[in-house]
Chain A
Amino acid sequence: GAVVSQHPSRVICKSGTSVKIECRSLDFQATTMFWYRQFPKQSLMLMATSNEGSKATYEQGVEKDKFLINHASLTLSTLTVTSAHPEDSSFYICSASLWGQPQHFGDGTRLSIL
């Protein structure tokens, strides 16, 4: 099956730090990548949809200046949490998909801001 690599798997850092998370589709060129946030015992909440070479589309309530998304190629998207604070602590998951095919997920990044 399709493989999506997400890195790092775990980040612990101080408040005010910016954190970059990478999402790579390893064996296919993804037309679209998605970024989700998941709180404990809750479902996945879509943050933004990212298409290669164009600006990301953010969901309502998600601050685009806080969560910067760059989709440089068909196999790489990055999410940067800028000036992170404790309330940004969460589990962040990316996925990649081709039109008409199911999305495949990375293993997620657990972000803890002290």
Chain B
Amino acid sequence: EDKVVQSPLSLVVHEGDTVTLNCSYEVTNFRSLLWYKQEKKAPTFLFMLTSSGIEKKSGRLSSILDKKELFSILNITATQTGDSAVYLCALEVTTSGTYKYIFGTGTRLKVLA
């Protein structure tokens, strides 16, 4: 059975801290791994990773995928209160000629001023 596990489940840090969020997976027919940020409503897209070892960066956020060890990390440096959210990892898998997404449990991040 396909499985996506995120750790930690929750995290409280102070502004300026650096955080590392982990997403481990066991899936068949992997296509890509995606990171999303969810605040009050729907998730917003952060990164899409398909190849191992290539870091993707956007401002203070960066992410990398390890397809051999089956995990990805999302780093946030110099955290701000606006980074408080649930961070979701999703695996895109192919199935019966189409594709779908399997979401991890999420990591709830709270950044204190």
Q: Is the CB of B41 within 8 A of A49?
A: no
Are the CB atoms of B102 and A46 closer together than 8 Å?
yes
Category for how many chain B residues contact A: 20 to 34
Map CB proximity to A onto B98-113 as digits: 1 under 8 Å, 0 otherwise: 1111111110100000
Q: Is the interface on chain A under 10, 10 to 19, 20 to 34, or 35 or more residues?
A: 20 to 34
By secondary structure, the A interface counts as: strand
CB distance from B12 to the nearest CB of A (A): 15
Q: Which residues of B contact A45 (CB under 8 A)?
A: 103
Contact A43 B106 (CB under 8 A): yes
Residues in A with CB closer than 8 Å to B42 are 6, 93, 105-108
Flag A32-49 by CB within 8 Å of B: 1 or 0 each: 101010000111111001
Answer yes or no: A57 CB below 8 A from chain B CBs: yes
In the complex, are the beta carbons of A107 and B41 less than 8 A apart? Answer: yes
Listed in ascending order, the chain A residues whose CB lies under 8 Å from chain B are: 1, 6, 32, 34, 36, 41-46, 49, 51, 57, 93, 95, 99, 102-108
A-contacting residues of B (Cβ < 8 Å)? 34, 41-45, 48, 88, 90, 96, 98-106, 108
